[in-house]
Amino acid sequence: MAVTIKDVARESGVNVSTVSRALNGEYGVHADTREHVVAVAQRLKYRPNRVARGLVTGRSHTLALVVSDIRNPFFAEVARGAEDAAYRAGYDMLLCNSDLDAEKQMRYAQSLMEKRVDGILMNSVSALSKKQQEQLSGLGVPTVLLNRTAPRSAFSTVCAENEAGGAMAAEYLLKLGHRKIAHLTGPRHHGNMTERAKGFVARLAAARQPVRPEVLHGTNDFPGGVDLARKLMAQNPDVTAIFAASDMMAFGAIRALMEAGRRIPDDVSVMGFDNVELASIVHPPLTTIHQPKYEMGQAAVEILLRLAGRGEHQAPEHRVFGVELVERQSCMERKA
């Protein structure tokens, strides 16, 4: 039905191998024949079957991005950066939503390597057991982990300076004169979030007059923020500043605080982490720690492409991105 390389060969009176070489711009075919073949191919509207090509070359020119949920604006931004980089290199990108579900994650991984993807960009493997992680890295397909420092594993990684970011937040809140401080974060052992907390409390503890923040664990999303903020108001009504481990949690906290009649930043200052687009849209505009999401996605596929290039020889690569505080209007000096 579709026109194949054989049709082009027959029509232009040469062998299929010559057509292949001509069309792929390989060395060793006369300029005249190449020209002729190209013309015929164009006339017949020939389009190579990449599946067939993939079978013999062993490469699919396809990457995969597996995130917990593309609706999370953080991942959407990363995805865009990744896809742009892939597109530029002539690669396509599969999208997978894992919900951080271990079984789903493994099923995806299986399917992806059955399709011979050239590389996988994964959000997190924290839900996976040690054995599953080994199984994954044993698949032999280049993999880079996002927002995860895994120095000793076979995986490459791309992440932000989470710990430094936490410290920056602490520094800022301290500078504004806050002493009663809380930290709202995700589940325990959440990788990068844990790091943020670590940097935050460490910096607070290192102050001239050390402060021990209240840290509450919950789910890393809007409802989680609402929930934790309510809990906080119940048990520690006198906090004047809150640092949330993600913007979404910060939004939730703001909602809960407003509903309780607290003014922001007048009564309580709120900080986030990520700097998603909405951070500048909400009211009040959120002061937060920016991490370069787009660039991180981009960098991840660049690593992937490098890894996929050199066949077996894959020493993992690691890349960490700087963060910066972007000051908006959700924080102010503590009233005297």
Partner DNA sequence: CCTATAATCAAAAACGTTTGCAACGTTTAT
Partner DNA sequence: ATAAACGTTGCAAACGTTTTTGATTATAGG
Interacting residues toward a second copy by CB under 8 A: 47-52, 54-55, 60, 62, 65, 69-71, 73, 76-77, 79-80, 83-84, 87, 92-97, 110-116, 222, 251, 254-255, 258, 277-278, 281-284
DSSP letter string, 196-218: HHHHHHHHHHTSSS----EEEE-
Q: How many of the other CB atoms lie within 10 Å of CB of 232?
A: 21
Task: Tell me: does residue 113 bind DNA (CB under 7 A).
Answer: no
CB neighbour class for 123 (10 Å; exposed up to 12, middle 13-18, buried from 19): buried
Task: Tell me: does residue 30 bind DNA (CB under 7 A).
Answer: yes
Tokens of 48: 């190579």
- Chain centroid to CA 69: how far? 11
Task: Tell me: does residue 153 bind DNA (CB under 7 A).
Answer: no
Q: How many of the other CB atoms lie within 10 Å of CB of 163?
A: 20
Task: Tell me: does residue 18 bind DNA (CB under 7 A).
Answer: yes
Closest separation in Å from C-beta 60 to DNA: 12
DSSP state of 271: E
CA distance 199 to 143: 28
Task: Tell me: does residue 149 bind DNA (CB under 7 A).
Answer: no
Tokens of 86: 């892939």
**Strand, helix or coil at 67?**
strand
E strands in 214-268: 214-217, 241-244
Binder among 39, 42, 43, 49 for DNA (CB under 7 A):
49
Query: Residue 20 or 137: which CB sits closer to DNA?
Result: 20
Closest separation in Å from C-beta 235 to DNA: 58
Binder among 25, 45, 56, 188 for DNA (CB under 7 A):
56
Q: Which of DNA, a second copy, none does residue 21 bind to, with CB < 5 to 8 Å depending on kind?
A: DNA
Binder among 16, 102, 106, 282 for DNA (CB under 7 A):
16
Binding residues vs DNA (CB under 7 A): 1-2, 4-6, 13-18, 20-21, 23-24, 28-34, 46-49, 52-53, 55-57
